[in-house]
Amino acid sequence: MSRNILLLPGDGIGPEIVAEAEKVLHAINNKFDLNLGFESALVGGAALDAVDNPLPEDTLDKARKADAILLGAVGGPKWDGLPMEKRPEKGLLGLRSNLELFANLRPAILYPQLASASSLKPEVVSGLDIMIVRELTGGIYFGQPRGVRELENGEREGYNTYVYKESEIRRIGRVAFEAAQQRGKKLCSVDKANVLEVTVLWREIMNDLQSEYPDVELSHMYVDNAAMQLVRAPKQFDVIVTGNMFGDILSDEAAMLTGSIGMLPSASLNSEKQGMYEPCHGSAPDIAGKGMANPLATIISAAMMLRYSLGEEQAAAAIEAAVNKVLDQGLRTADIMSEEGTRVSTHEMGDAVLAAL
């Protein structure tokens, strides 16, 4: 039976970068006889424009049936003034919550060919390979009640609720411990247990889980310290596990240690290993349609998709090897361009990966 991949190009540079990844996926499908089937659908601003809904029923339906989803990015200035429920991001958040994609895996790897792109000293970042596991469907981004209310004196007050159930902490903890087992066997749990009760419970559950993974060394760090340590000595980390909001911020910080957001993939998984794969960057409206976008983060996300949702390790590794080869050849999109590199367009970068395959 064919495995069904749903392509959600989205907005801005999304369609350009997903087209390159699709090309690579078609080639790998033929090369390894993977029996992949492809469908596409609208999400975000593109869906708002077409049917006035950032997550149309048809898209959600296809997403539920898909084995894996490859998403470009959503959002852009065109839709910034819309009310919250009509924002493109609602499409993304809706997919994450409807499919229960609670585990967000974000590797931050410094490719040796791009070591000079980091703003940190090479000795601080060279060989960097961190995995941030962020809880994605709970915490303060989803907690109820939330809103803006008027107080008795007429002043307005904004409020959100930071909640985690024990079961939510346990399942993200398991994903992180398992990731650590497959890597350097070190897990750092990041919280704010000196101030927030919800993260006191978080820490307690992480400690509890440790007995199931005796080969993994568990440590804890407050989020403010973690933010400092990531720029001071990032190589001390192997796997970091944290809640939705802290993970949002720390994973972007870790991403920038590598120098280019155009190189960073991500995976969001549920307990059935169904996943949505997407680059870490946004829709980059400033360069959309100019052929300048780096498609590599999306192409590497497609490799993660083959590995984590489809169990096709060999095909995933072949894509990663092809990406390494084009970097060795000195091919660079504008965002990762250095003095020695040869500048290529989005399309040329996709073609080069294809040729390297």
Pick the piece of the chain touching ligand NAD (CB under 6 A) from 126-134, 149-157, 278-286, 300-308.
278-286
Of 127-186, which residues contact ligand NAD (CB under 6 A)? none
With binding defined as CB under 6 A, does residue 291 bind ligand NAD?
A: no
Catalytic residue among 162, 252, 273, 325, which?
252
Q: How far is the CB of 209 from ligand NAD (least distance, A)?
A: 29
Q: Does position 73 bind ligand NAD by CB under 6 A?
A: yes
| Cβ atoms of residues 144 and 161 within 8 Å | yes
**Whose Cβ is closer to ligand NAD: residue 217's or residue 252's?**
252
The verdict on 267 binding ligand NAD (CB under 6 A) reads: no
Nearest residue to the partner ligand NAD, using Cβ: 282
Burial pattern 257-294, b for ≥16 Cβ within 10 A else e, equals: bbbbbbbbbbbbbbeeebbbbbbbbbbbbebbeebbbb
Site string for ligand NAD, 88-117 (x = CB under 6 A): -x--x-------------------------
Q: Which of 192, 213, 308, 335 is catalytic?
A: 192
d(CA 5, CA 36): 7
Annotated catalytic residue within 49, 61, 80, 224:
224
Closest CB 75 distance from ligand NAD, rounded Å: 3
Q: In this chain, which of 261, 337, 354, 357 binds ligand NAD, going by CB under 6 A?
A: 261
Q: How far is the CB of 74 from ligand NAD (least distance, A)?
A: 4
Contact call for residue 349 and ligand NAD (CB under 6 A):
no
By CB under 6 A, is residue 18 in contact with ligand NAD?
A: no
Which of 134, 171, 281, 332 binds ligand NAD (CB under 6 A)? It is: 281
Q: Is 248 labeled as catalytic in the residue annotation?
A: yes
Catalytic-labelled residue, pool 78, 129, 185, 248: 248
Q: Does 318 engage in binding with ligand NAD (CB under 6 A)?
A: no
| Residue 353 sits in the site that holds ligand NAD (CB under 6 A) | no
To ligand NAD, the closest distance from the beta carbon of 238 in angstroms equals: 25
For the question of residue 328 being annotated catalytic, the response is no
86 flagged as catalytic? no
Q: Quote the least distance from Cβ 200 to ligand NAD, whole Å.
A: 31
Active site (catalytic) residues? 141, 192, 224, 248, 252
